[in-house]
Structure 1
Amino acid sequence: MLVMEFKAVLKESQRVAINEAIRTARFVRNKVLRFWMDNRGIGKKELYRYNTQLRDEFEFVKHLNSHACQASVENVERAIKRFFDNCKKKVPGKKGYPKFKKYSRSVEYKQSGWELSPDKKSIKFTDKKGIGQVKLKGTWDLWRFDQKLIKRVRIVQRADGYYIQFCVKVDTSEQLQATGCNVGLDVGLKEFYTDSNGYAEPNPRFYRKGEKRLKFYQRRVSRKKKGSANRKKAINRLGRQHLKISRQREEHAKRVARCVIRSNDLVAYEDLRVKNLVKNHCLAKSINDAGWYQFRKWLEYFGEKFGRITVAVNPAYTSQNCSACGAVVKKSLSTRTHVCECGCELDRDHNAAINILTKALSTVGHTGTYINARGDSTSTLPGSDLVEQVGSLNRESPDF
């Protein structure tokens, strides 16, 4: 699947209509979820039947395209399935019980409710919400795809405007020549990552650099009267600054991951649980700023696209064990140099990267791209459907 995103050029009346469509989709989702909570044990057929009842009962729900309402039901269905899967796997901590949504920023259409213009520069939404013809602004070329290949269309609201996403069912895989190189990566806070060859990628620290500006906009928000128009404008400016930083972090992770995958036949990295690591309040801001999860996500996606092997290994003792003799050399986080009695003296992260690569190479039975050193499949598989792509994983920048 390939997700192609365009900026929407809208009139004020269209903005109001899109907001109404988003609210309606959220209403359907919450009502269906409440129906499931009140009637435990029902299946998905009952959920879709209740969706039909909602369309008969509420006129504003009927105005939204029927497939868009079904997409909201699918969101509930996936949340329920994910909750029960976590229970069966006995995932520690919270199992992700489905929750009601107070805020939402998207509405999703399937293969009906919209028409693409012949020049592929605008899209018309044909339901009764009144969105109408929307001009598309972007560099993607929709001409080379048959309209039948477009499986989903989503309208997404962000701080800097509205976007239209197209989910196109195409094969994006490419075959590259073997390089004969393998690499292990140790992500960190001082450096973005250090590989087994000793190269250290600098950590850009986008949030730290933009923190001063964020604090300025945050003060502007706190000084405005609650509920006023000026406060909404100040919140929007703050949101735009956060959006800029998140885009910088995502593009950096994408660019670096693509270069690493294209340069190596096998890439090994730590199977880190970032969700648990950020519980350390002393390091949470720096860990989130580094963007380890985004980097791993793009490594796995490009690994599948280019036919490379990506291996997530257990991070236990990768920093403590000596990469030369295997002896355990205990060290605190402040100790940045690994010194062993065998004479091995390396940077702490360089030593860990070598251990990560060694663990990956010792793993037998590489049956696919997504295999970690414990034999489990990795957790961030690029999805096959737009509705599962919150971060639009398959959307590649045309600049790369």
Structure 2
Amino acid sequence: MHYERTPWEQEQRSISLYETNKILTQWKQDRPELKQVYAQILQNVQVRVDLALKAFFRRVKSGEAPGYPRFKGKDRYDSFTYPQAEKGGFKFAGDSLHLSKIGDVRVVLHRPIEGTIKTCTVRRSSTGKWYVCFSVEYEPSPAPRKETVVGIDVGLESFATLSNGEKIENPRFFRTDEKALAKAQRKLSKEGKGTPERKKARKIVAHIHERIANRRLNFAHQTSRQLVDRFGTIVFEDLNITTMQKNPHLAKSIADVAWNMFITVTKSKAEDAGSHVILVNPRNTSQQCSGCGMIVAKTLSVRVHSCPHCGLVMDRDRNAAINIMRLGLQSQG
């Protein structure tokens, strides 16, 4: 990435993707080993670098803390992409995937591929497992739209509370493995850098992180599937998770429940299931009475909503979920 940095440091200018591709042609002449890699994979690396730098310059322009893109060495560069199926970079042959310049690799498909495959990305996980991800183009055939509506208040005590009073318990995946992770990290810190023991200890830590992430993602998929199968309109708060995680007392718990992941997965499943997701402004959803609309101030420790104006008494989170549902319906007119 230094060929991008040098013009910036010397001339305060950025070079185009077209220019970097011309440099790549010269590189392949200077470094014959690059010819062992499929040409479009190398071009895709240039695209990734270009996108990273465009994001950097956008952050500089907007006054954010920009953070110059980090160089990725061979131990950190964990994926590569064949960007065009029609160019012959990859193809299926029985239960094997033929990858140009690599050969035939046996694959286990966890579900049938629908539509026309456009790109193929091969990824190595932190624990050394290999995955292949296809992007496809297809015409969806969504299920008929359902008329049922639900508002959902996500939280820490319960993972989510529905406007109908149902609660989804918080699985606390990170908290469950926290002791095992701390023990593995202590052992890692004691091993000398560059030793086989440290490499082994690092892999144990990565395995624990991977297990937590897999459980969390599986929970998000299963829970979101149940919701989109039941409800036609699903309303969430549009939460600013980054700001909320600045609270040192809640940051770890908020990261553990992964609300953003859950909402994103729900949105991805909604269309095919005949549902749609609405995000609403979270302001005062917990403080406002769902019965009369008056503001009833309460701290986080108060778990019951008790309105002195209309006498409504109910679970605090359900009251918020009803307000969220109402806002979602109002946004649709």
**Structure 1 and Structure 2 fold alike (TM over 0.5):** yes
RCO (CA 8 Å, sep 6+): is it higher in 1 or 2?
1
Aligned to 1:359: 327
Q: Does 1:251 align with 2:226?
A: no
Change in Cα spacing, 1:96 to 1:176, as seen in structure 2 (3 Å) is: farther
Q: Deviations over 1:92-141 (max 9, x none)?
A: 8435654433522112223357443531x2233332xxx43322234434
Would you say the 8 A contact 1:184–1:195 is kept in 2? yes
Which amino acid in the other structure matches residue 55 of structure 1? K
Does the 8 A contact of 1:153 with 1:164 survive in 2?
Answer: no
Q: Secondary structure at the match of 1:137?
A: coil
The answer as to 2:99 corresponding to 1:125 is: yes
AA paired with 1:109? Answer: Y
From 107, 115, 121, the equivalent of 2:80 is 107
Q: Is the 8 A contact 2:153 2:161 kept in 1?
A: yes
Aligned AA (2:26): Q
Matched position secondary structure for 1:183: strand
Q: Read off the aligned partner of 1:179 and give its amino acid letter.
A: K
> Deviations along 1:198-246, whole A, 9 cap, x unmatched?
1110000011111121122222212322211121011111101110110
Match of 2:228 in 1: 261
Query: In structure 1, how many angstroms separate the alpha carbons of the residues matched to 2:264 and 2:324?
Result: 18
Local SS of the residue matching 2:216: helix
Indicate yes or no: 2:155 matched with 1:188.
yes
The 1-side partners of 2:267 and 2:59 are apart by 22
Q: Secondary structure at the match of 1:73?
A: helix
Determine if contact 1:221/1:234 at 8 Å carries over to the other structure.
yes
Pair 188,179 (structure 1): closer, same or farther in 2 beyond 3 Å: same
Q: CA deviation at 1:84?
A: 5.3
Q: For residue 277 of structure 2, give the secondary structure of its aligned residue in structure 1.
A: strand
Deviation at 1:86, TM superposition (A): 5.6
Please say if 1:345 is aligned against 2:313. yes
State the alpha-carbon separation in 1 of the partners of residues 281 and 194 from structure 2: 49
Question: 1:151 aligned to 2:118?
Answer: yes
Q: Determine whether 1:217 maps to 2:217.
A: no
CA distance in 2, matches of 1:256, 1:32: 46
AA aligned to 2:100 is: T
**Kept in 2: contact 1:122–1:134 (CA 8 A):** yes
Letter in structure 2 aligned against 1:76: V
- Tell me the distance in 2 between the aligned counterparts of 1:359 and 1:96: 38
In structure 2, C-alpha distance between the alignment counterparts of 1:207 and 1:201, rounded to whole Å:
17
Go from structure 1 to structure 2 and tell me whether the alpha carbon gap of 1:31 and 1:87 turns closer, same or farther (over 3 Å shift).
closer
Superposition pairs of residues 235-384 of structure 1, within 5 angstroms = 235-341=202-308, 342-364=310-332
- Residues 70/168 of structure 1: CA separation in 2 closer, same or farther (3 Å cut): same
In 2 relative to 1, CA 220–84 (structure 1 residues): closer, same or farther, beyond 3 Å?
closer
1:311–1:360 contact (8 Å) kept in structure 2 = yes
- Give me the identity figure in percent: 33
Amino acid at match of 2:24: N
Q: C-alpha root-mean-square deviation of aligned residues, in Å? A: 2.4
Alignment of 1:150-189 (within 5 A): 150-171=117-138, 173-189=140-156
Is 2:88 the partner of 1:116?
Answer: no
1:123 counterpart letter in structure 2: L
What does residue 49 of structure 1 align with? 22
Distance 2:110 2:137 in 1: 18
Amino acid at match of 2:125: R
Q: How many residues end up aligned between the 2 structures?
A: 326
SS in 1 for 2:201: helix
TM-score (norm 1): 0.75
- What TM-score, normalized by structure 2, do the two folds share? 0.89
Structure 2: 5+ residue runs without aligned partners?
Answer: none
Q: Supply the distance in 2 between the matched residues of 1:318 and 1:224 (Cα, whole angstroms).
A: 50
Query: Alpha-carbon deviations, 1:234-286, whole Å to 9, x = none?
Result: 11111011101101001101111121122111111010111221111111110
In 2, the alpha carbon distance for the partners of 1:269 and 1:226 equals: 46
- 3-state DSSP of counterpart to 1:316: coil
CA distance in 2 between partners of 1:36 and 1:199 (Å)? 58
After superposition, the Cα gap between the structure-2 partners of 1:139 and 1:363, relative to the gap in structure 1 and judged at 3 Å, is closer
- Relative to structure 2, which stretch is displaced further, 221-230 or 31-40? 31-40
1:7 maps to what in 2? Answer: none
Inter-partner Cα distance in structure 2 for 1:271 and 1:232: 41
Which ranges of 4 or more aligned residues in structure 1 deviate by more than 6 Å? none
Call closer, same or farther: CA 1:172–1:350 in 2, change over 3 Å. Answer: farther
CA–CA separation in structure 2 for the residues paired with 1:336 and 1:77: 49
